[in-house]
């Protein structure tokens, strides 16, 4: 069907020492042969054994471009199951790009994002969760997310979900066989037994759902919104976190009228930070839109960094902010510790009864901000950032499917409590079974395929 | 060679339950039809159990009736006991079963067949199917059936041929070491047709089934058995039968049990059972097992049920349900005599196993036409099913589709969400069954929608469009639907006040007090309440027929479940609607695993949905297929846009 030869840089574009350019498809060896000459030999790559690596030079015309190692993996024993050549060249964005260009000039076309994985999946090399994990891998933005993606790749989610599905299927089979053969299989006392099984399975699904947010946080970073009154130092905080002048910082209140986004890493934690307009009651139409937008952003945030200017008194605007962030994860940054304080940490705790963690700091002089990282670890990873043995859903679709399955199992429990006939249980049991099946690709829903295609940039 | 030459529209080979339905359907649609059988006396014979219906089989009969088949009407005229089974369970598994007077059943069906316009009855053995090659291949048809040749050399040219040979092809009956080369009940076997089928490239195989002994009523002691009565109010099988006409005086059946002694006798003589001794090559049904199989399979059970059922009103023969066997005569006798009430039994007919040729039904389309032979259809036990009802249902569908093809009309296929018949045929033509296929409730994924009580609402209109259901019957079901909808609407919009009187009523029903504004439909959803119970506080109620009330009750009480099942059906239909071109070259899809590619090429599924049910085709293969079809359809569209 689709055996065009494709190529792309397989490693992250960075200034690292070695980069890999991967070529896959029917003509992978032909393409590589055109540009690669083995040292001290005139052998073609067609003459070498599969899964071997060779030293030599890349030639652009008669000129040597780079000194490289080339590995050859013949179909079907490669990631894509097609003939695959990987060129290990010297790193650096510029040189790597020239190597890729050279390959493209010699008969390969540039691979679309995820295309290697798509081929692997379509050739039955990997199942859906694994494919999606690979896609997540491509998209993962922090090292923690990377580790979880790898873990999922090894099939831990698959096997966990498969186990739960088996449990459900067993119950369906039991009910069905009792319907077919009432003489030999009795359903007496069965509802109670089923109820217990359901509790166990629902508990496990709950665990998955609970952890799913952590999974998403790992992949996408903590959705962080910076809130505060105008000129409290929000944009300065973003710039500090991002390490560059991103938002316009002035002494004029109300400078940021829209939201500004940035992805940042603090240690091993990824933050997806949104800076917002200062919150205040205002007549200015444009500014008011900014304020509304800020409050909306806060609604869907995992974390709110509430920047307060300690040199300005608590007022109506603070109240608006506090009302809008109730029940959220909030860290208060009591900024401008270098100025004479009007409000203090103690006042916030006692007079205003705020139970949020409070960091007293001066963003301008970069003082007191070390505590922030510690607090984030506490808030989001229960103190320990450990991902070795746990199963996480990093995909929103998976989380939705698990929630659906859970809902269906609750329906079964409801049927049991209403003393409905047993043959009705299987409707919802089967719904739960299919929902979970969609996660591991054992049930092919049309919607899923559509989603995958759009992610794979199909349709061209 | 000189001989009779006749020209008809349709040849139906076999006059069992499948053949009768197939022939009647064709003739009723105006096609000149001839039905062949080895003996006219064997029309609609019931060589095994004396009942029609039963768990899930009852559904098949009601569906068949809704479509315009004959079996339901015939049993309504000839039953001697009738019972709605599984009433303690949910409405999806309620099932009708009736005891037939076998002789009456056969006689009545024969009367219908013999008096059907456009239908000719012919007693003779068909030996060969005539075909011609199709010159310009269309789709995957290679040949076309053009008639049959009988044992005496007569040629019947026709436009369609329907195989309904039941268990007659190369049949042999086994009773221990005694083997006779006959069809059921000692009738002549058909020994020529299999070769003709093989010549046409049709793959055949060998199945077996069995039947228990018949006993002389006078030799049985019923005082040692539990008596089994039918339902007090009989529900007819046919939607055309007036319920008042079936409230007849019923005869009882009896229940007794095997015991350890029975099992010991069987175990000690297993080496003399042709199945366990390896004499029978055919595969038997797991779900309709012989008593030998049961004793082996359920070694821990100390007893099995044995139903003693009359074979008719004018015979002393009693059927011994649950104890089919192929053990030798002497073992049978001592085995049966170990059962309470049968101590002094006299056996009229021995139990025996029958082995026969049947086809691998995956060679058929969902219309029951052969994939490669146009005009050749196959229905009933020859397709690897077991049971009268399964046979009749297939016969009807094969007959309808033969007629549709001749008349140049759209094929008629029911899917898994529309009818048990759809499930039955989809399973037969999609899954490799290694044993005779028996219908079971568990096979129907959407069984809450496929109830026996709503078969008319599901299928009457389809039967009408085909032309097998009268305008009057169709109008009747339309009216019924209106009444149901009106009544549901009324119940949903009738609030019940929280008056002291009403609260007292709730208390009497052991139900929680009403809050004001509660409507009748909400009250009906409470497990302890029902339409009937609410009569007292539902003062505006008008009298409605029982079948309407039944629908109203189920639709309200199980509304949530029905809605959820409908959502599942929606999902299912999405894949069914993705059709696959009949002559798709699967070799052009290299990403398919080899096993899947071979299976798909051999089965040629009509839809992605059907493809996904073929064993050996994985979800990943289905994804690949979907990707390919997406691409393929785009290319095809481009091509047609270019033209």
pLDDT at residue A132, rounded to an integer: 55
B423 and B444 in a single domain? The answer is: yes
Q: What is the mean pLDDT of residues B455-472?
A: 98
Q: Between B301, B448, B591, which is nearest A424 by CB?
A: B448
Q: Which residues of B touch A458 (CB under 8 A)?
A: 627, 630
Let me know if residue B471 belongs to a domain: no
B371 and B499 in a single domain? The answer is: no
B74 and B58 in a single domain? The answer is: yes
In this predicted structure, which of A305-314, B145-154, B199-208, B440-449 has the lowest mean pLDDT?
Answer: A305-314
* Cα–Cα distance, B127 to B24 (Å, whole number): 23
B228 and B175 in a single domain? The answer is: no
In B, minimum Cα distance to A424 occurs at: B90
The more confidently predicted of residues B454 and A295 is B454
B338 and B362 in a single domain? The answer is: no
Tell me what the pLDDT averaged over chain A comes to: 77
B340 and B370 in a single domain? The answer is: no
**How far A80 CA lies from chain B's nearest CA (Å)?**
11
End-to-end CA distance of chain B: 53
In this predicted structure, which of B35-49, B166-180, B597-611, B615-629 has the lowest mean pLDDT?
Answer: B615-629
* Cα–Cα distance, B612 to A312 (Å, whole number): 68
Q: Both tokens of residue B321?
A: 């349900």
Write the pLDDT tens digit of every residue in B222-249: 999 999 999 999 999 999 999 999 999 9
Q: Which residues of A touch B576 (CB under 8 A)?
A: none
The more confidently predicted of residues A384 and B535 is B535
Domain count, chain B: 4
Let me know if residue B1 belongs to a domain: no
The residue with tokens 């005891």 is B99
* Cα–Cα distance, B453 to B456 (Å, whole number): 8
End position of a domain, from candidates B354, B379, B414: B354
> Is the CB of residue A191 less than 8 Å away from at least one CB of chain B?
no
Q: Do B623 and A176 touch (CB under 8 A)?
A: no
B284 and B424 in a single domain? The answer is: no
* Cα–Cα distance, A59 to B484 (Å, whole number): 82
> Is the CB of residue B565 less than 8 Å away from at least one CB of chain A?
yes
End-to-end CA distance of chain A: 14
Q: Which residues of A touch B568 (CB under 8 A)?
A: 427, 430-431, 434
| β-strands B155-157, B5-7 pairing | parallel
> Is the CB of residue A124 less than 8 Å away from at least one CB of chain B?
yes
Q: What is the mean pLDDT of residues A162-182?
A: 89
B170 and B242 in a single domain? The answer is: no
| β-strands B5-7, A358-360 pairing | unpaired
Q: Both tokens of residue A173?
A: 């089979």
CA–CA distances in Å: residue A120 to residues A24, A76, A78, B5, B239:
11, 10, 9, 62, 56
Q: Do B89 and A179 touch (CB under 8 A)?
A: yes
Q: Do A444 and B623 touch (CB under 8 A)?
A: yes
Q: Do B90 and A123 touch (CB under 8 A)?
A: no
| Dihedral sign of CA atoms B592, B597, B601, B606 in order | negative
* Cα–Cα distance, B345 to B355 (Å, whole number): 27
> Is the CB of residue B612 less than 8 Å away from at least one CB of chain A?
yes
Q: Which residues of A touch B592 (CB under 8 A)?
A: 124
In B, minimum Cα distance to A426 occurs at: B445
pLDDT at residue A214, rounded to an integer: 66
* Cα–Cα distance, B213 to B567 (Å, whole number): 47
**How far B262 CA lies from chain A's nearest CA (Å)?**
17
pLDDT at residue A129, rounded to an integer: 60
Cβ A89 vs Cβ A18: under 8 Å: yes
Percent of chain B with pLDDT over 70: 96
Backbone φ and ψ for B483, nearest 5 degrees, come out as -60, -40
pLDDT at residue A341, rounded to an integer: 84
pLDDT at residue B257, rounded to an integer: 97
Q: Best residue in B322, B591, B608 to probe A by mutation, most A CBs within 10 Å?
A: B591
Tally of CB atoms within 10 A around B474: 16
A243-268 residues labelled b (16+ CB within 10 A) or e (exposed): eeebbebeeeebbbbebbebebeeeb
Q: Which residues of B touch A180 (CB under 8 A)?
A: 55, 287, 440-442
Let me know if residue B110 belongs to a domain: yes
Spatial CB neighbours of B278, under 8 Å, sequence gap ≥ 6: none
Q: Taking the mean position of all CA atoms in its chain, how far away is CA B13?
A: 19
CA neighbours closer than 13 Å in the CB half-sphere of residue A203: 6
Q: Do A1 and B631 touch (CB under 8 A)?
A: yes
pLDDT at residue B195, rounded to an integer: 96
Q: Does A151 have pLDDT greater than 70?
A: no
Within the 389-428 window of chain B, which residues sit less than 8 Å (CB to CB) from chain A?
A: none
Q: What is the mean pLDDT of residues B167-186?
A: 91
Whichever domain contains B184, its CATH number is 3.50.50.60
Closest CA to B586 of B560, B543, B555, B617: B617
> Is the CB of residue B307 less than 8 Å away from at least one CB of chain A?
no
Q: Sheet containing A6-9: which strands, arranged edge to edge?
A: A36-38, A52-60, A63-73, A84-90, A18-24, A6-9, A109-110
* Cα–Cα distance, B603 to B585 (Å, whole number): 12
* Cα–Cα distance, B557 to A145 (Å, whole number): 48
Q: What is the mean pLDDT of residues A408-428?
A: 94
Q: Between A124, A421, A441, which is nearest B89 by CB?
A: A421
Percent of chain A with pLDDT over 70: 72
In chain A, what's the furthest Cα-to-Cα distance?
Answer: 86
Residue B375's pLDDT band, with cuts at 50, 70 and 90, is: very high
Residue A386's pLDDT band, with cuts at 50, 70 and 90, is: very low
Burial of B153 (0-12, 13-18, 19+ CB in 10 A): exposed
pLDDT at residue B185, rounded to an integer: 87
Helices and strands of chain A, counted as H and E runs: 15, 13
Let me know if residue B573 belongs to a domain: no
**How far A150 CA lies from chain B's nearest CA (Å)?**
21
Let me know if residue B54 belongs to a domain: yes
Let me know if residue B572 belongs to a domain: no
End position of a domain, from candidates B354, B387, B403: B354
For residue B390, give its domain range.
7-209+356-466
* Predicted-complex ipTM score: 0.89
Q: Both tokens of residue B278?
A: 């390896």
Q: What is the mean pLDDT of residues B166-189?
A: 91
Let me know if residue B167 belongs to a domain: yes
* Cα–Cα distance, B485 to B480 (Å, whole number): 9
CB pairs under 8 A between A and B: 104
| Dihedral sign of CA atoms B531, B537, B538, B539 in order | positive
Write the DSSP string, B597-637: HHHHHHH--SBHHHHHTSTT--HHHHHHHHHHHHHHHHHHH
B399 and B497 in a single domain? The answer is: no
* Cα–Cα distance, B207 to B356 (Å, whole number): 6
Q: Do A180 and B442 touch (CB under 8 A)?
A: yes
A391-412 residues labelled b (16+ CB within 10 A) or e (exposed): bbbbbebbbbbbbbbbebbebb
Write the DSSP string, A299-354: HT-SEEEEEEETTS---HHHHHHHHHTTTS-EEEEEE-TTSPPSS-HHHHHHTS--
Q: Best residue in B620, B625, B634 to probe A by mutation, most A CBs within 10 Å?
A: B620
Q: pTM higher than 0.80 for the full model?
A: no
Q: Between A181, A428, A445, which is nearest B571 by CB?
A: A445
Q: Between B447, B565, B627, which is nearest A122 by CB?
A: B627
Q: What is the mean pLDDT of residues A320-333?
A: 83
Q: Which residues of A touch B305 (CB under 8 A)?
A: 183
**How far B561 CA lies from chain A's nearest CA (Å)?**
7
Tell me what the pLDDT averaged over chain B comes to: 93
> Is the CB of residue A430 less than 8 Å away from at least one CB of chain B?
yes
Q: Between A423, A431, A441, which is nearest B89 by CB?
A: A423
* Cα–Cα distance, B432 to B447 (Å, whole number): 22
Q: What is the mean pLDDT of residues A214-241?
A: 77
Q: Does B418 have pLDDT greater than 50?
A: yes
pLDDT at residue B322, rounded to an integer: 93
B185 and B267 in a single domain? The answer is: no
> Is the CB of residue A460 less than 8 Å away from at least one CB of chain B?
no
* Cα–Cα distance, B587 to B584 (Å, whole number): 9
B268 and B399 in a single domain? The answer is: no
Q: Which residues of A touch B527 (CB under 8 A)?
A: 418-420
Cβ B398 vs Cβ B359: under 8 Å: no
**How far A423 CA lies from chain B's nearest CA (Å)?**
6
Q: Which residues of A touch B447 (CB under 8 A)?
A: 423
Q: Which residues of A touch B625 (CB under 8 A)?
A: none
Q: Does A305 have pLDDT greater than 60?
A: yes
Q: Between B568, B578, B591, which is nearest A1 by CB?
A: B591
In this predicted structure, which of A184-198, B560-574, B622-636 has the lowest mean pLDDT?
Answer: B622-636
* Cα–Cα distance, B231 to B250 (Å, whole number): 9
> Is the CB of residue A122 less than 8 Å away from at least one CB of chain B?
yes
Q: Between B287, B561, B620, which is nearest A424 by CB?
A: B561
In this predicted structure, which of A43-57, A62-76, A99-113 has the lowest mean pLDDT?
Answer: A99-113
Q: Which residues of B touch A184 (CB under 8 A)?
A: 298, 301
Q: Between A3, A177, A441, which is nearest B619 by CB?
A: A441
B177-214 residues labelled b (16+ CB within 10 A) or e (exposed): eebeebbbbebebbbbbbebbeebebebeebbbbbbbb
Beta bridge partners of B352: B211
In this predicted structure, which of A269-283, B87-101, B542-556 has the lowest mean pLDDT?
Answer: A269-283
In chain B, what's the furthest Cα-to-Cα distance?
Answer: 92
Write the pLDDT tens digit of every residue in B248-292: 999 999 999 999 999 999 999 998 888 777 776 766 666 678 899
pLDDT at residue A391, rounded to an integer: 55
Q: Both tokens of residue A386?
A: 């450990």
Q: Which residues of A touch B89 (CB under 8 A)?
A: 179, 421-423
pLDDT at residue B489, rounded to an integer: 96
Let me know if residue B498 belongs to a domain: yes
Q: Both tokens of residue A455?
A: 């992610």
The more confidently predicted of residues A137 and B32 is B32
Q: Best residue in B54, B85, B89, B612 to probe A by mutation, most A CBs within 10 Å?
A: B89
B435 and B489 in a single domain? The answer is: no
Whichever domain contains B626, its CATH number is 1.10.150.570
Whichever domain contains B492, its CATH number is 1.10.10.1800
């Amino acid at each position: 069907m689709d055996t065009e030869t494709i190529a792309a840089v397989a490693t992250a574009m960075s200034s690292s020492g070695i980069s890999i350019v991967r070529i896959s498809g029917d003509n992978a060896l032909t393409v590589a042969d055109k540009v690669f000459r083995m040292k001290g030999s005139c052998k073609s790559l067609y003459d070498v054994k599969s899964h071997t690596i060779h030293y030599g030079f890349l030639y652009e015309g008669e000129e040597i471009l780079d000194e490289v190692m080339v590995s050859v993996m013949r179909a079907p024993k490669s990631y894509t199951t097609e003939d695959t050549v990987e060129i290990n060249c010297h790193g650096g964005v510029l040189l790597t790009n020239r190597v890729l260009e050279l390959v493209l000039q010699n008969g390969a076309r540039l691979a679309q994002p995820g295309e290697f994985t798509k081929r692997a999946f379509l050739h039955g090399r990997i199942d859906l969760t694994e494919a999606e994990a690979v896609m997540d891998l491509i998209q993962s933005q922090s090292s923690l997310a990377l580790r979880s993606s790898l873990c999922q790749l090894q099939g831990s989610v698959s096997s966990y979900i498969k186990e739960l599905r088996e449990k459900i299927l067993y119950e369906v089979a039991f009910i069905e066989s009792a319907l077919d053969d009432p003489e030999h299989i009795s359903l007496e006392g069965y509802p109670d037994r089923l109820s217990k099984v359901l509790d166990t399975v629902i508990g496990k699904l709950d665990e998955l759902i609970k952890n799913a947010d952590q999974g998403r946080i790992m992949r996408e970073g903590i959705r962080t919104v910076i809130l505060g009154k105008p000129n409290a130092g929000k944009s300065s905080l973003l710039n500090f976190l991002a390490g560059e002048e991103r938002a316009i910082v002035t002494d004029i209140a109300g400078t940021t009228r829209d939201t500004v986004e940035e992805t940042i890493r603090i240690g091993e934690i990824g933050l997806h930070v949104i800076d917002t307009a200062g919150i205040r009651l205002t007549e200015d139409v444009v500014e008011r839109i900014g304020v509304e937008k800020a409050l909306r952003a806060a609604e869907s945030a995992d974390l709110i960094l509430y920047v307060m200017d300690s040199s300005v008194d608590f007022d109506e605007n603070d109240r608006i902010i506090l009302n809008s962030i109730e029940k959220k994860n909030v860290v208060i940054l009591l900024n401008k510790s270098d100025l004479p304080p009007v409000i203090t940490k103690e006042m916030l705790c006692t007079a205003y009864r705020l139970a949020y963690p409070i960091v007293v700091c001066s963003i301008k002089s970069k003082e007191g901000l070390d505590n922030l990282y510690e607090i984030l670890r506490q808030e989001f990873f229960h103190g320990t950032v450990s991902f070795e043995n746990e199963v996480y859903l990093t995909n929103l679709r998976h989380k939705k499917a698990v929630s659906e399955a859970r809902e269906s199992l609750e329906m079964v429990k409801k049927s049991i409590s209403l003393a409905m006939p047993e043959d009705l249980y299987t409707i919802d049991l089967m719904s739960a079974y299919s929902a979970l099946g969609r996660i591991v690709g054992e049930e092919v829903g049309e919607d899923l395929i559509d989603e995958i295609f759009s992610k794979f940039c199909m349709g061209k | 060679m000189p001989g009779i030459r006749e020209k008809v529209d349709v040849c139906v080979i076999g006059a069992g339950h499948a053949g009768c339905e197939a022939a009647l359907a064709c003739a009723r649609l105006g096609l000149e039809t001839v039905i062949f059988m080895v003996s006219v006396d064997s029309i609609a014979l019931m060589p095994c159990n004396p009942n029609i219906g039963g768990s899930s089989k009852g559904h098949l009969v009601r569906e068949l009736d809704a479509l315009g088949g004959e079996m339901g009407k015939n049993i309504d005229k000839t039953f001697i006991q009738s019972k709605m089974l599984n009433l303690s369970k949910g409405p999806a598994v309620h099932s009708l079963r009736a005891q037939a007077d076998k002789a009456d059943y056969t006689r009545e069906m024969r009367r219908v067949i013999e008096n059907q316009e456009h239908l000719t009855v012919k007693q003779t053995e068909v030996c060969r199917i005539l075909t011609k090659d199709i010159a310009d291949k269309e789709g995957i048809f290679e040949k076309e059936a053009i008639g049959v040749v009988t044992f005496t050399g007569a040629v019947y040219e026709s436009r369609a041929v329907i195989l309904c040979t039941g268990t007659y092809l190369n049949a042999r009956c086994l009773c221990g070491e005694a083997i006779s080369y006959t069809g059921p009940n000692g009738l002549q076997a058909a020994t020529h047709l299999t070769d003709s089928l093989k010549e046409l490239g049709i793959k055949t195989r060998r199945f077996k089934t069995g039947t228990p002994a018949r006993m002389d009523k006078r030799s049985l002691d019923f005082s040692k058995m539990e008596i089994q009565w039918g339902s007090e109010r009989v529900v007819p099988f046919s939607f055309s039968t007036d319920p008042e006409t079936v409230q007849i005086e019923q005869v009882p059946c009896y229940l007794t049990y095997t015991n350890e002694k029975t099992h010991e006798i069987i175990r000690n003589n297993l080496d003399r059972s042709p199945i366990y001794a390896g004499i029978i090559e055919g595969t038997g049904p797991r779900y309709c097992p012989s008593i030998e199989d049961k004793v082996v399979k359920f070694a821990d059970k100390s007893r099995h049920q044995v139903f003693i059922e009359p074979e008719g009103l004018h015979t002393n023969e009693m059927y011994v349900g649950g104890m089919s066997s192929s053990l030798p005569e002497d073992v049978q006798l001592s085995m049966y005599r170990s059962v309470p009430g049968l101590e002094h039994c006299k056996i009229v007919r021995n139990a025996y196993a029958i082995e026969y040729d049947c086809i691998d039904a995956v060679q058929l389309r969902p219309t029951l036409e052969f994939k490669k032979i146009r005009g050749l259809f196959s229905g009933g036990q020859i397709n690897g099913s077991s049971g009268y009802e399964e046979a009749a249902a297939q016969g009807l569908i094969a007959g309808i589709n033969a007629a549709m093809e001749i008349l140049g009309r759209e094929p008629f296929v029911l899917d898994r969400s529309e009818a048990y018949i759809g499930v039955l045929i989809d399973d037969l033509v999609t899954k490799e069954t290694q044993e005779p296929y028996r219908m079971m409730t568990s096979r129907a994924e959407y069984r809450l929608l496929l109830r026996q009580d709503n078969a008319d609402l599901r299928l009457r209109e389809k039967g009408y469009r085909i032309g097998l259901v009268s305008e009057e019957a169709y109008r009747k079901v339309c009216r019924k639907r209106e009444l149901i909808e009106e009544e549901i609407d009324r119940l949903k919009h009738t609030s019940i006040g929280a008056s002291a009187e009403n609260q007292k009523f709730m208390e009497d029903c052991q139900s929680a007090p009403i809050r004001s504004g509660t409507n009748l439909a909400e009250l009906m959803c409470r497990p302890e309440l029902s339409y009937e119970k609410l009569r007292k506080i539902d003062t505006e109620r008008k009298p409605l027929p029982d079948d309407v009330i039944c629908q109203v009750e189920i639709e309200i009480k199980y509304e949530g479940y029905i809605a959820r099942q409908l959502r599942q059906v929606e999902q299912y239909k999405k894949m069914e609607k993705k059709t696959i071109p009949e002559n798709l070259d699967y070799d052009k899809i290299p990403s398919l695993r080899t096993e899947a590619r071979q299976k798909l090429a051999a089965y040629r599924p009509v839809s992605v949905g059907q493809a996904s049910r073929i064993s050996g085709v994985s979800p990943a293969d289905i994804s690949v297929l979907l990707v390919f079809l997406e691409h393929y359809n785009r290319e095809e569209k481009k091509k047609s846009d270019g033209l």
